A and B are shown apart, each in its own frame.
Chain A
Amino acid sequence: MEKTAEEIFQDKIDREIRIEPRDWMPEKYRQTLIRQISQHAHSEIIGMLPEGNWITRAPNLRRKAILLAKVQDEAGHGLYLYSAAETLGISRDEMYEQLHSGRAKYSSIFNYPTLSWADMGAIGWLVDGAAIMNQVPLCRTSYGPYARAMVRVCKEESFHQRQGFEILLTLSKGTQAQRDMAQDALNRWWWPSIMMFGPKDDESPNTVQSMRWKIKRFTNDELRQKFVDICAEQVKILGLTLPDPDLKWNEATGHYDFGVINWDEFWQVVSGNGPCNKQRLDARRKAWNEGAWVREAATAYAAKRAARQAEKRA
C-alpha cells in the first residue's frame, strides 16, 4: 500500500532525518514550529530590555563591555531565529505584529524587573542556565533551520552563563553589602527561573505531540529536575543559598527534592499580570513605532537608488 505523506513524514522523523523547508509537513507541525520559534525569537528581543537596563550603570568598563556585547548577542539570536521562522512561511513583520498586539507570547521571566547589578549575575547564571537546558536538546530538533540556529545560540549562551556566574562569584567574595545584593537577586530570580521550563508535564498540552515530532526531546519536568540538581550544587561554590527550604538531596531518587512551585504566579505573569509585562511590550512598541519613519526612509532611498541605476544602464 502507498504510504501517505503524513506517514512518510513521521517515518523521516523516526529515522532522525531532518525536515527541511521544502519538505512536506503537516500543517500542525508547521504551526507548532512557527509558534515555538517566534516565541523564542521574541524572548531574545524582549530579553534585551531587562539587561539593557544596566548597560549605562555597569560598575566598571570591563563589565560594561561584556554586558553590552551580551545584549547585542541576544539581538543576533533574535535575528537567526526570526530567519528560521521565516522559512516556514511567515514574515518578520507578521511576527512583530503578533508580539506587539499581545497575541504572541515570550518567556515570562523577562517580565520581572532588574533591580540591582547582582541581577545581571542571576540572569546569566539562572535564566541563561535554564535557557541552555531547554535549548541544547533543540540543537537536535527535527526541523533543520531551527536546529542549526540553535547550535549557534547555544555556543553563545553557555558563554553568557559563565559570565553571569562569575559576576555572582565576585559579589560573593566582596563586601557584606555585595553578598546581600547577590543573595537578594537569587531570592528573586530562583523561582521564576525554574518556572521557565513551563507547566508540569500533566498540564502541558503540547508536550506529547511535540515529543512525537521530535521538536521536543525531554519533558518540562525532566529538564526542570536536571536544572535544579545542577544549581543546588553550584550555589555551594557561591556560598549563597537558593530560597527553598524544601530543597534537599534525596538518596533514593538520586535527585534534589524541591518545594512547590507557585503556579498561580506563573499563570498570572503569562496572562499579562507580571510586574513588567506592560513596560516591556510598551518599550518594544515604542521602538517599532518610532522607527517607522526610519524604515520608510531606507525603503524610499533604496528604491530611488535602484531607479537611478536602472536609468544609467538604460
Chain B
Amino acid sequence: MQASTNLISTTDFLLHLADNALIMGHRNSEWCGHGPVLEQDIAISNIALDCIGQARNFYQYAARLMGEGHTEDSLAYLRDERAFRNCLICELPNGDWAQTVLRLYFFSTYQYFLFQQLQHNSDAELAGIAAKSLKEVTYHLRWSSEWVIRLGDGTEESRQRILQALDALWPYTGELYTPVAYESVGEADMASIQTAWLDHVKAVLEEATLSMPDMGWMQQGGKTGIHTEHLGYILAEMQFLQRAYPGAEW
C-alpha cells in the first residue's frame, strides 16, 4: 500500500514538472514567426524547444513508472484539463513581449532553484533530468532577466508595459513556491526556494529600476488541477489530432 502511494506521488510530481514545461513551451512556441526581432524570434523558439524537450523527459519517465501502455504522448495528448498539474502562470496568454519575458523570468527563476535541489534527488533518473534541464534553464533565466532589465530601464513605453505585466502576473507567482502534497517527492526545501526566488526577483527588479510589489493575494489551483479558463483552449488546440483520429500513428 505504502509503495503504491509513493508511486502515485512520484508520478503526480513528474506530471506536474512535465505539464509545467509543456504548457510553458506551448505558449512560448506561439511566438515562432512573430517575434519583434529575428534574433529574438529564434531565441524564444529555442527556449520553447528546450521546454518541450524537458517535458518529454519527465513524461517518458512518468509513463514508464505508470506502465499500462502509457507513453509520453498519451500523457500529453489524452489527459483532460482537470488532470493537468501545471502552475497557472504557465497557461496565461502571452500578452505582449513584456508579459512573455516577465512570465518566463518568474518561471525560470523558480525552475532554476528547484532543479538545483532536484539534481541531488535520491531518484537518480529524476536527478539526471533535473541536472540536464538546469543547464538550459540557466540560459533561460539569464536571457529573460536581461529582457526584464532592458524593458524596465529602456523607454517610458517599455517601462509602462513591464509595469502592467508585473501587475497582471504577480498574483500567479506565489503558486510556484507554495508546495502541494506530492511535491514532497522532490525532497526539496521549498521554504529556501521561496526565499531564493524572492531575493532574485527583488535584485532583478531593482536593476530594472522597478520596485517589488506587495505580496498580496496569490492565486492557486493549477498544481491540483483547478485551472484558469485558458488551459482548456490550449488543450483543445494541442490535442486536436489525437482526439479526432483515435489510435492513429503520426
A: residues with CB less than 8 A from B are 45, 48-49, 52, 55-65, 68-69, 71-72, 75-76, 78-79, 82, 117, 167, 170-171, 173-175, 177-178, 283, 286-288, 290-298, 300-301, 304
Contact A45 B250 (CB under 8 A): no
A56 and B29 in contact (CB under 8 A), knowing A291-B35, A294-B158?
yes
Q: Which residues of A contact B150 (CB under 8 A)?
A: 297-298, 301
Q: Return 24 A-B CB contacts under 8 Å, by A number.
A: A48-B32, A52-B32, A57-B238, A60-B73, A60-B76, A65-B49, A65-B53, A72-B46, A75-B33, A78-B38, A79-B38, A173-B249, A174-B248, A174-B249, A175-B248, A178-B248, A290-B36, A291-B97, A292-B36, A293-B157, A294-B97, A298-B154, A300-B154, A301-B151
Q: Which residues of B contact A60 (CB under 8 A)?
A: 72-73, 76-77, 242, 250
Q: Which residues of A contact B97 (CB under 8 A)?
A: 291, 294
Contact A68 B34 (CB under 8 A): no
Contact A56 B45 (CB under 8 A): no
CB distance from B37 to the nearest CB of A (A): 6
A296 and B154 in contact (CB under 8 A), knowing A78-B38, A79-B39?
yes
A49 and B33 in contact (CB under 8 A), knowing A60-B242, A79-B38?
yes
A61 and B73 in contact (CB under 8 A), knowing A56-B26, A293-B161, A296-B155?
yes
Contact B250 A117 (CB under 8 A): yes
Using an 8 Å CB-CB cutoff, how does the interface string of B156-190 with A read, 1 for contact, 0 for none? 01100100000000000000000000000000000
Q: Which residues of B contact A48 (CB under 8 A)?
A: 32-33
A61 and B48 in contact (CB under 8 A), knowing A294-B36, A295-B36?
no
Of the candidates B22, B45, B76, B240, the one having the most CB atoms from chain A within 10 angstroms of its own CB is B45
CB distance from A177 to the nearest CB of B (A): 6
A170 and B250 in contact (CB under 8 A), knowing A60-B242, A65-B53?
yes
B: residues with CB less than 8 A from A are 22, 26, 29-30, 32-42, 45-46, 48-49, 52-53, 55-56, 59, 72-73, 76-77, 96-97, 149-151, 153-155, 157-158, 161, 234, 237-238, 240-242, 245, 248-250
Contact of A287 among B34, B45, B72 (CB under 8 A): B34
Compute how far the CA of A69 lies from the CA of B96 in the bound complex, rounded to whole angstroms.
Answer: 23
Contact of A68 among B37, B45, B55, B155 (CB under 8 A): B45
Compute how far the CA of A49 lies from the CA of B41 in the bound complex, rounded to whole angstroms.
Answer: 12
Q: Which residues of A contact B38 (CB under 8 A)?
A: 45, 75, 78-79, 82
Closest to B41 in A: A75
Name the 5 nearest CB pairs between A and B, nearest first: A291-B36, A297-B154, A297-B158, A59-B250, A48-B33
Compute how far the CA of A200 lies from the CA of B59 in the bound complex, rounded to whole angstroms.
Answer: 52
CB distance from A48 to the nearest CB of B (A): 4
CB distance from A55 to the nearest CB of B (A): 5
Contact of B157 among A63, A82, A117, A297 (CB under 8 A): A297
Contact A76 B241 (CB under 8 A): no
CB distance from A263 to the nearest CB of B (A): 30
A61 and B45 in contact (CB under 8 A), knowing A283-B33, A291-B97?
no
Contact B237 A61 (CB under 8 A): no
Contact A296 B158 (CB under 8 A): yes
Compute how far the CA of A65 lies from the CA of B45 in the bound complex, rounded to whole angstroms.
Answer: 10
CB distance from B13 to the nearest CB of A (A): 19
Closest to A76 in B: B42
Q: Which residues of B contact A286 (CB under 8 A)?
A: 34
Closest to B39 in A: A79
Q: A59-B250, A64-B29, A71-B45 are in contact. List 20 more A-B contacts (CB 8 A).
A: A45-B33, A57-B237, A59-B241, A61-B73, A62-B56, A65-B56, A71-B32, A75-B32, A75-B38, A79-B38, A79-B39, A174-B249, A177-B245, A286-B34, A287-B35, A288-B36, A291-B37, A297-B158, A298-B154, A300-B158
Contact B33 A71 (CB under 8 A): yes
Contact A68 B49 (CB under 8 A): yes
A301 and B153 in contact (CB under 8 A), knowing A56-B238, A170-B249, A175-B248?
yes
Closest to B59 in A: A61
Contact of A293 among B32, B41, B155 (CB under 8 A): B155
Contact A287 B32 (CB under 8 A): no
A56 and B237 in contact (CB under 8 A), knowing A117-B250, A177-B245, A291-B37?
yes
CB distance from A309 to the nearest CB of B (A): 14
CB distance from A230 to the nearest CB of B (A): 25
Q: Which residues of A contact B238 (CB under 8 A)?
A: 56-57
Closest to A49 in B: B33
Compute how far the CA of A81 lies from the CA of B54 in the bound complex, rounded to whole angstroms.
Answer: 32
Q: Which residues of A contact B30 (CB under 8 A)?
A: 55-56
